[in-house]
Structure 1
């Protein structure tokens, strides 16, 4: 008689928007982790939000061995995450999971529920979301509640930076696991084909900002600093430009005042590969980060970076890439000007990128995370 296969370890992922998707860093992380968990023999369900920008969004039922479960949400953005996390958490109670992995502070507000039923829980805090400028009163309180629930109910709590690890220890007395996001070295040999045809861009002819268009990313600093620099290079801003958003409208107005600034909107696939592969330098002027996936991606393409000097950015680039004082437009402008004049030639050294890449190995990260999942067995 044949022996039956051992039951596969089953995990649920809750907290992202959609997989597959590049709507934010969390979505990239959930996909990268889930794919590797499947490769390690785990069964993974990801709980996607059903609506995208208030419209029906067709999603696959399976992706790279991952089962996709859709959770309906309200179209009102303030209620979207709240309703999603409640419904996803109740649905997950009946999924037979060995572990539920919550991502981001908001969804962690429901961690008490699986904890009540004795399900092993892991939480990843991707950043202190309540600090971000876009949130109003209710959302801020909800995010702080999620943070408190994560510190109290998570069996294992993951943070992405030393700064956040210190915060949880000092604020809640909670020990955490420092497991950063990962990167995979990319093929940077993408000639400027589509970006040349669509946007008129050429190799090394532009500075790149690629991230969400939100206040905490500091894009307004970059635009002001760029305007003060004498250069024929362009500033390319790649990110979703959803109409009606107050900050997005502000950025559009600022960009319209300088013909060297190009707004591409949201990009992915070949366009994204070409933008990273052909830019002269990538700039991330953020005030707040957890661990910026766009910064890690720029390194994976071998693109030199200029970043604000917040701890989360400096943990990534260390002494290998230049930085400027966050929020200081003049310092950013001076550093940009020096880079464009070739005064930071060391940032193009291949060994700089190799050193950073070694710190953020997805395979090692997946192994560390899997070990936390199985501590509950």
Structure 2
């Protein structure tokens, strides 16, 4: 077993890199390892073990209480720092404490997630630590953030452009945006998908009473830019007997969550599963869906969409440049309104040939462009190049 989870206060292991000739990378800006929260956490679940297996010592900075109780691979160390656990302060406070500790330890390179951490790059640069930063999507355009929060993210992006040695964009279109607005080139590295060994049809039968190909699936957080309200309105336009499964949620009292709860109360065939950390079951839901709706509109390559493709889910997406980049010609593109969404979903759900063709197409697209093996190899090369400089 690798480095044990521990609080950093009084941690004597400050000079641990002196005990090994292996290069050390600090991964900062996620909820930690292993975590099942979102795209960055999914990336780190794959990347940290990969780097450890390929000659790195890996420090993953974690938030207390937000990582799974699982065995930690040899070469990977969880490092817990303190912060304020709130929507408005968590990213900045945990980012500050993690960057401060990494500056103290002085790894060979830091991999930073999220431009909000751009504020803290000067302390790493002052210690001579090269920084590779994943810019993620355009956080300052997300409706869920207040105007001050949007300004914080945009300023963080400006500082990231100024101080990071290497910027990574998960989308070609995001890379174009950064070149145009911030004058910086980016390395394109998308997310990867895991192709299941089996569709595990028995899981959806046993747990939900569903047959393969019989249901509509949506997987997303309930935030405005994910088009979930429009999706729930679209479901109301469908036959009440249509089986619908929704993975995702919002805090109690959120308007979209309230809308979802009302829909499920009115229609017993709508099943709300909330957040899932069981990858095997989630992959089974995608693998056996009659049609999958993906409404994400802000950001680049979305991890959920890439994983849905790896599972062969026939897909309807909100029509954006980012979703078109990922899917190519292998999906159905809908305007963000209930009528457009429902018509696409119904047409695919009730057409066996369309479902089969779309499933084969997205699987082939996944194999061609979005395999984890290629993604992780590219991260390894970028980190080694940055560490050498």
TM-score normalized with structure 2 length: 0.87
| 1:335 correspondence with 2:349 | no
| 1:34 correspondence with 2:43 | no
Note the C-alpha offset of 1:289.
2.9
Partner residue, 1:21: 35
> Hey, what's the Cα distance between the residues in 2 that align with 1:202 and 1:349?
16
Residues 179 and 105 (structure 1 numbering): CA distance in 2 closer, same or farther, change over 3 Å?
Answer: same
Could you tell me whether the CA contact under 8 Å between 1:161 and 1:312 is conserved in 2?
yes
Note the C-alpha offset of 1:185.
1.5
| 1:289 correspondence with 2:299 | yes
Partner residue, 1:110: 120
> Hey, what's the Cα distance between the residues in 1 that align with 2:68 and 2:189?
32
Partner residue, 1:310: 320
Partner residue, 1:68: 78
Residues 159 and 354 (structure 1 numbering): CA distance in 2 closer, same or farther, change over 3 Å?
Answer: same
Residues 290 and 256 (structure 1 numbering): CA distance in 2 closer, same or farther, change over 3 Å?
Answer: farther
Could you tell me whether the CA contact under 8 Å between 2:57 and 2:76 is conserved in 1?
yes
| 1:206 correspondence with 2:215 | yes
- Give the stretch that moved more between structures: 138-147 or 266-275: 266-275
Residues 277 and 341 (structure 1 numbering): CA distance in 2 closer, same or farther, change over 3 Å?
Answer: closer
Cα RMSD between the aligned structures?
2.3
- Give the stretch that moved more between structures: 222-231 or 35-44: 222-231
Q: Which string of whole-angstrom CA distances, capped at 9 and with x for unpartnered residues, describes residues 298-327 of structure 1?
A: 1111221111111111111111121112x2
Could you tell me whether the CA contact under 8 Å between 1:61 and 1:67 is conserved in 2?
no
Could you tell me whether the CA contact under 8 Å between 1:51 and 1:73 is conserved in 2?
no
TM-score normalized with structure 1 length: 0.90
> Hey, what's the Cα distance between the residues in 1 that align with 2:85 and 2:133?
26
Residues 283 and 365 (structure 1 numbering): CA distance in 2 closer, same or farther, change over 3 Å?
Answer: same
| 1:354 correspondence with 2:368 | no
> Hey, what's the Cα distance between the residues in 2 that align with 1:252 and 1:117?
51
Q: Which string of whole-angstrom CA distances, capped at 9 and with x for unpartnered residues, describes residues 327-366 of structure 1?
A: 2322212211211231735634535412332201222222
- Which of 143, 158, 172 is the equivalent residue of 1:162? 172
Partner residue, 1:262: 271
Note the C-alpha offset of 1:184.
2.5
Note the C-alpha offset of 1:63.
4.1
| 1:86 correspondence with 2:96 | yes
Could you tell me whether the CA contact under 8 Å between 2:191 and 2:372 is conserved in 1?
yes
Residues 188 and 207 (structure 1 numbering): CA distance in 2 closer, same or farther, change over 3 Å?
Answer: farther
Note the C-alpha offset of 1:222.
1.1
Partner residue, 2:136: 126
- Which of 239, 250, 253 is the equivalent residue of 2:262? 253
Gaps of 5+ in 1: none
| 1:366 correspondence with 2:380 | no
Could you tell me whether the CA contact under 8 Å between 2:136 and 2:300 is conserved in 1?
yes
Note the C-alpha offset of 1:127.
0.6
